[in-house]
Structures are given as C-alpha cells and as structure tokens.
C-alpha cells in the first residue's frame, strides 16, 4: 500500500510542478513549438472532463466533476488495498492523475492542459501529466484484465478463455 501511495503522490507532484511552470511562463492560449509539425507546449484551460467533454455547464459541472473525482479516489483506494501488485500500480497511476486534475479543478475551476500533439491535419486534444498517468493506468488495467494470467488462482488469461 505504501508503494501505491508513493506512486500516486509522485504523479500528482510531477503534474502540479509541470502545470505551475506552464502557468508561470506562458499566457493562456500561447503555444511554443518544440518539434515542428508534431509537438507544442501550450497553455489551455479545460473546463470539462477528458478531451473537453462536458466543457459547458458552469459551476454545476465543476461541482459534479469534483464530486465524481472524489468518489473515484475513494473507490480506487479500496481497490488498491484488495489488488495484486500490478493492478495496484495501475490504480496508483490513475489515482495520482485524478488527484493532480482534482487539485486544478479546486484551484482554478478548470484543468491546465499543456501537451499538444499533432501530425498534419490530425490533432490530438491538449493534455497533461495527470491525463497521461490516468491513460497509462487504464491501459495497464485493460491489459491485466484481458491478457495477463491470474497467478494466484492459476486461471489462464481471459483471451484464452474466450477462444
């Protein structure tokens, strides 16, 4: 459990430090090209959830998303206590990302996004360290759910069961 807490705290701190740098050195809406045609550092405020969904809705939306984040963190904490090491790591990434974005939502009423990937006309919505941690955590959980064996029970991976 201590390792899970450390992972979550490191993610939340890294997220907040990088966002503080962005807020300090860029003005809202500013973009600086790091790799032409591929990667920019930007300063955007996301009032919605992932990738800007629920972006309209005012204070009711902010309250809703804050409550959902808080409930999710409690559920994740319970799941971590009952999980194997790999699942606990994935859940810790998700928790750290959720904390990082929750801090933004409480401080600013929005989430600071600053990583901007694009290639030609393809443009991914801006994101941050917290979003990345959440995404990696979810991908790990999906992998563990469908492809990894359950060593404790000896059950084969679910993909073998589905064949």
Predicted confidence (pLDDT) at residue 24 exceeds the cutoff of 90:
yes
**158 vs 35: CA distance, rounded Å:** 41
**Predicted pLDDT at 61:** 63
- Predicted model pTM: 0.79
pLDDT tens digits for range 26-83: 999 999 999 999 999 999 998 765 555 555 556 666 677 677 767 777 777 767 777 7
**Predicted pLDDT at 84:** 84
Catalytic residue, candidates 15, 104, 116, 131: 131
**Predicted pLDDT at 162:** 43
For residue 154, give both structure tokens.
Answer: 């000896």
**39 vs 60: CA distance, rounded Å:** 34
Catalytic residue, candidates 15, 104, 113, 116: 113
H-only helix segments in 26-153: 58-82, 85-108, 129-146
**Predicted pLDDT at 161:** 41
113 is catalytic: yes
For residue 72, give both structure tokens.
Answer: 């999710």
Q: Which residue has the higher pLDDT, 121 or 10?
A: 10
What is the band of 87 on the pLDDT scale with cuts at 50, 70, 90? confident
**Predicted pLDDT at 43:** 96
116 is catalytic: no
* Average pLDDT estimate for 93-100: 94
**Predicted pLDDT at 53:** 53
For residue 4, give both structure tokens.
Answer: 């899970």
């Amino acid at each position: 459990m201590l390792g899970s807490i450390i992972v979550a705290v490191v993610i939340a701190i890294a997220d907040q430090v990088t966002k503080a740098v962005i807020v300090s050195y860029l003005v809202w809406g500013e973009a600086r090209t790091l790799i032409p045609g591929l990667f920019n550092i930007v300063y955007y405020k996301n009032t919605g959830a992932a990738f800007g969904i629920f972006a309209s809705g005012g204070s009711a939306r902010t309250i809703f998303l804050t409550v959902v984040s808080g409930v999710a963190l409690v559920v994740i904490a319970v799941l971590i206590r009952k999980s194997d090491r790999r699942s606990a790591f994935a859940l810790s990434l998700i928790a750290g990302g959720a904390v990082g974005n929750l801090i933004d939502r409480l401080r600013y009423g929005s989430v600071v996004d600053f990583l901007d990937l694009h290639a030609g006309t393809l443009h991914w919505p801006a994101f941050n360290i917290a979003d990345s941690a959440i995404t990696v955590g979810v991908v790990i959980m999906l992998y563990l759910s469908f492809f990894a064996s359950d060593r404790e029970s000896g059950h084969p991976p679910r993909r073998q069961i589905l064949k």
